[in-house]
Amino acid sequence: MIDYDKLLNFKIPEVRQTLTARDAVFYALSIGFGQDPMDARQLPYVATHKGPAVVPAMAVVIGHPGFWAADPATGIDAVKVVHGEQRITLHAPLPASGEVIGRTRVTGLVDKGEGKGALLYSEKEITDAATGKLLATTGSTTFLRGDGGFGGPSGPVIPPNPMPEGAPDIVVDLPTRLEQAFYYRLNGDDNPLHIDPEIAAKAGFPRPILHGLCTLGVVTHALMRELGDYRPEALKKLSLRFSSPVYPGETIRTEIWKNGAFRARVVERDVVVVNNGHAEFAA
């Protein structure tokens, strides 16, 4: 059972991380960069002799505190945790090397009621350890499916981005690989839901699901290709809602509007997996 005050003030360990070019390249590979060997625009992200450039979505794994919700002291039913929403704000280009500090905190809890789950809002600030400069701020909404009814407040709830009427202006299909979750988890997101069939079954899934943040990475790739010309400094903000899981091996189709709105679906099942997306790019 969640203790509202205890979880709201739960001390998530600060993370100091020394980044190398290898980390930047691995992250890019883990979200599917480099699958087209003839696309030279991707080379700065996956080949150190051409960069490396850092995919801005890497902010979600830099300074990551790990699966801290699995700590029994949180009171969270960790098996039933699902990533609901993600927000990223880039204050400066992410460095390919050097030491960074990630500081994560719980910013809000919403009790949806007995049997209806709860929402946990958290925020991470990434700073340059040498200068103290703020590099990025990320925000997450985590759906605690097994933890409603603890007596917490029913709001406020962060509203979703509105979606445009009509057909998207651009459609991008990018494949995922059957073993992709095994690679992606080495970025520090080690929830066993994504690799262990037994854990996935206990959570109500027929097989392990792809990390939501890996899906975000694939979608960010599509957005960078179409709206940012693969420039690492172009993406300024991104937010989205995860609406359904992706299974490794499926193709993610990102549907993009020129005003920065987007959603994504898996081609094989025609199911929307990302909704209410919005990205802001510099000119």
Can you name the residues that pair with 102 across neighbouring β-strands?
Answer: 15, 126
Q: Nearest to residue 140, comparing CAs of 38, 60, 199?
A: 60
Among candidate residues 64, 194, 221, 278, the one labeled active-site is: 194
Among candidate residues 23, 111, 147, 189, the one labeled active-site is: 189
- Tell me how far apart the alpha carbons of residues 116 and 62 are, in angstroms, rounded to a whole number: 32
Q: Is 91 a catalytic residue?
A: no
- Tell me how far apart the alpha carbons of residues 268 and 23 are, in angstroms, rounded to a whole number: 31
122: part of which helix (H) or strand (E)? strand 118-128
Helices (H), 72-231: 180-184, 197-202, 212-227
Q: Is 189 a catalytic residue?
A: yes
Instruction: Give me the active site residues, please.
Output: 189, 194
